[in-house]
Chains A and B, each alone.
Chain A
C-alpha cells in the first residue's frame, strides 16, 4: 500500500490563481480530511468527508472547496488563492470504526505571493 499520497509537495501561486491539491489513499478508508498547519497554530481542520458523496466543513473552510466522488480521492480546491492561504496542507484518512487511527499524508507546502 502506498498509504496516503499528496501532490504536489511544493507549490507557489500568485494571488487570484486557482489550483487543486490532490490527496489519494489506497486503504479503502471511509473517512478523509484536510488540515492546514500554520506557524504557531498547530493543525486546523478545513473540510472532511465521511464517505463518497458526503463532505462537510471543519474549523477553517473559507476559501476552499472539496468533493468526494470516489472513496480513494479527496481533492482540495483553492478557487482564488490569497496570501492568507500560505500554509502546509495535510490530508488524512481513517478506517471506519477505528477513529483513533489517523493516517497522514506527507503534506503540501503552498506559498501564495
Chain B
C-alpha cells in the first residue's frame, strides 16, 4: 500500500514571498502520478499541479512548480510570489499508473494549511 506524508501541518508566508510545501511518499510502484490539490475555505478541491513519475522534468503551472525527486520519493510544491488567494489547505496525493487506465484511486496526505499574510 502507498503512503503519503506531509510533515508540515501549518505554514505561513508573507505576500509576494516564496514558500515550499513538503511531501514524501512510499511506494513500490515504478510508474505513478503525483498531485497537489488546493482546498480553499469554500471546500472545493482544486487541482494545482500534476507530475507523471516517468517524466524527469519538473511540472510547472504559472507560479506553482514542483521539485520531484523520484529516488528520494519526494515531491515538494513551490509557490512563488504568494498571493492572499493562495491561503488554503494543500494536499499531496498519489495515484498508481495503470497501463489500461483503470486505476483511479487517490491516496492523500494529511494536508498543510498555508496562510498568506498581507
- When the two chains form their complex, are residues B44 and A43 in contact, meaning their CB atoms are under 8 A apart? no
- When the two chains form their complex, are residues B109 and A31 in contact, meaning their CB atoms are under 8 A apart? no
**Is B25 located at the chain interface by the 8 A CB criterion?**
no
Can you add 15 more A-B contacts, CB < 8 Å, to A42-B4, A92-B45, A96-B101? A33-B105, A40-B111, A42-B108, A42-B110, A44-B108, A45-B107, A48-B104, A50-B102, A50-B104, A99-B95, A99-B103, A99-B104, A102-B47, A102-B106, A104-B45
> Can you sample 29 A-B contacts with CB below 8 Å?
A31-B104, A35-B106, A40-B110, A40-B111, A41-B110, A42-B91, A42-B110, A43-B91, A43-B106, A45-B105, A50-B104, A88-B43, A90-B45, A96-B101, A97-B101, A99-B33, A99-B95, A99-B97, A99-B101, A99-B102, A99-B103, A100-B35, A100-B52, A100-B95, A102-B47, A104-B44, A104-B45, A107-B43, A107-B44
- When the two chains form their complex, are residues B43 and A99 in contact, meaning their CB atoms are under 8 A apart? no
How many residues on B have C-beta within 8 angstroms of the other chain's C-beta atoms?
27
